[in-house]
A and B are shown apart, each in its own frame.
Chain A
Amino acid sequence: MREEELETTLFALGRQLASPRPTRMADAVRARLAAPRPLPWWRRYALAPALVTAVLLFAVLLLGSPGVRAAAQEFFHLRGVDIFPVPSLPTLTPRPSPSAGGSVPGGGVPGDRVTLAEAQSRVHFTIRQPSRLGTPDAIYVDQAEHVTLVYGAAQVVEFRATVDAGFFGKLIGPDTKLEQTTVNGDPAFWLEGAPHFFFYRLENGTVLQETLRLAGNTLIWVHDGVTLRLEDQVSKDEALAIATSTR
């Protein structure tokens, strides 16, 4: 069918299309308006934790899609880490942070526990260590070449971000302070105050649900093309001192 024919046919079809019988809808609408209005669904279910998680994940997905990311007015970005300030954070039970005990960093990026030498052989960048923290208690590495160094209560995650790869996201509420700073002259972010949500989003857009957890004070910086993230309950000055000691 030629384009013109198709258009003519569509116009004609529009005139011949069946349509609902004319009714006195005004009365029906008035009756519905007089009935007590049921709570909107989000008010009815807003307190169900599973739904909150689902909604949050959805928000995260939405924020993660390229168009929205580009359009977001307030959104902070540092090689592989995106920070989204949101008006409020849903309440979620915090997951434990990675520790030296677990076989995978609980709630962090999944990975295998390895020696430093093995971790180094599995990734294509030089693993950096903040000398101020001493020797790591445990080292993990995952398929996406994320290395996690655990030092007691502190942890450092490092990776080389690539364009279009998955990214770490942080969802921060109004009670989390976000500060732009520098480490050795390179851009860095310092997050302090109320815990914020942390998640990892794969290349295909899926948010790893097990990575959705609350995180404490965090410093994110870039060192020689490698993005490092330090999580520790320390002051900003101490975090900066740790970051500066990275070799």
Chain B
Amino acid sequence: MEGRPTEESALVERAKHGDQDAYAELVTRYQALAARTAYVVCGNEADAEDVAQEGFVKAFYALDRFRPGAPFRPWLLRIVANEAINRRKAAGRRPTVELGVAHDPPSDDTALSPEGAVLATERRDEVLAALRRLRDEDRLVIAYRYFFELSEAEMADALGVARGTVKSRLSRSLTRLRETLERTTVGE
């Protein structure tokens, strides 16, 4: 995932000087992650694709503000996530998003007994339902940690907060997830 950092900074440097081929390589490298980030916020694939593209365009024009040598990935994610959040705001922020799972029987849970697998799927669906109702910002923090497994330093950069506050941010978002989870499961 980390790639070759020296090569990456060279690509960024070339892109900064207007080299669109170099930038295209960065786009290819991070398109999946950018689209997934946008998807977590927007909750639908069509918007996610468009937001990710727009994020790449904005990032290109913002390259002169990029600190040389800094990691590109969290910097890009921050731009994409902002674009996604703004898009949701502009559209009047429907309270829930339609986040979904790709495939049902999870292949990585083969170690579980059939009953265990059913239970795990139930739990997953409950958590997913709660995530759909969460504030965009909370969903994003949780996704950075558990879905994309960003490091604390990367999360700080991607969220634009001090490194020391990442943990408390995450724990606040988790608390809200838990509260939503309790409300929905009790209600059902």
A16 touching B99, Cβ below 8 Å: no
B153 contacts the other chain (Cβ, under 8 Å)?
A: no
Say whether B27 contacts A14, CB under 8 Å. no
Judged by a CB distance under 8 angstroms, whether B81 is at the interface is no
Do A25 and B52 touch across chains, with their CB atoms under 8 A apart?
A: yes
User: What's the Cα separation between A1 and B185 when bound, in Å?
Assistant: 10
Decide: B53 and A29 in contact? CB cutoff 8 A.
yes
Give the chain B neighbours of A32 by CB distance below 8 A.
53-54, 57
Asked if residues A29 and B56 are in contact (CB atoms below 8 Å), the reply is yes
Q: Which of B24, B106, B123, B127 interacts with A15 by CB under 8 Å?
A: B106
Within 8 A of A (CB), among B149-180: 149, 174, 177-178
B112 to chain A, nearest CB (A): 11
Given contacts A20-B48, A23-B31, contact A13 B127 (CB under 8 A): yes
Cα-based distance from A25 to B147 in the complex (angstroms): 22
Residues of B within 8 A of A24 (CB): 28
Question: Chain B: interface secondary structure?
Answer: helix
Q: Which residues of B contact A12 (CB under 8 A)?
A: 106, 108-109, 120, 124
A26 interface residue, CB < 8 Å from B?
A: yes
CB within 8 A of A19: which of B23, B32, B53? B32
Q: For residues 21 through 52 of chain A, which have their beta carbon under 8 Å from a beta carbon of chain B?
A: 21-30, 32-33, 37
**Nearest A-chain residue to B149, judged by Cβ:** A14
Residues on B with beta carbons closer than 8 Å to the beta carbon of A17: 36, 39-40, 99-102, 147
Say whether B147 contacts A13, CB under 8 Å.
yes
Question: B11 at the A/B interface (Cβ < 8 Å)?
Answer: no
Among A72-105, those with CB < 8 Å from B are: none
Contact B102 A18 (CB under 8 A): yes
A5 with B56, Cβ < 8 A, contacts A10-B146, A19-B39, A30-B24 known: no
**Docked complex: B20-49 residues within 8 A CB-CB of A:** 20, 23-25, 27-28, 31-32, 34-36, 38-40, 45, 48-49
Q: Which residues of B contact A (CB under 8 A)?
A: 20, 23-25, 27-28, 31-32, 34-36, 38-40, 45, 48-49, 52-54, 56-57, 60-61, 99-103, 106, 108-109, 120, 123-124, 126-128, 131, 142-143, 145-149, 174, 177-178, 181
Q: Which residues of A contact B (CB under 8 A)?
A: 1, 5-7, 9-30, 32-33, 37
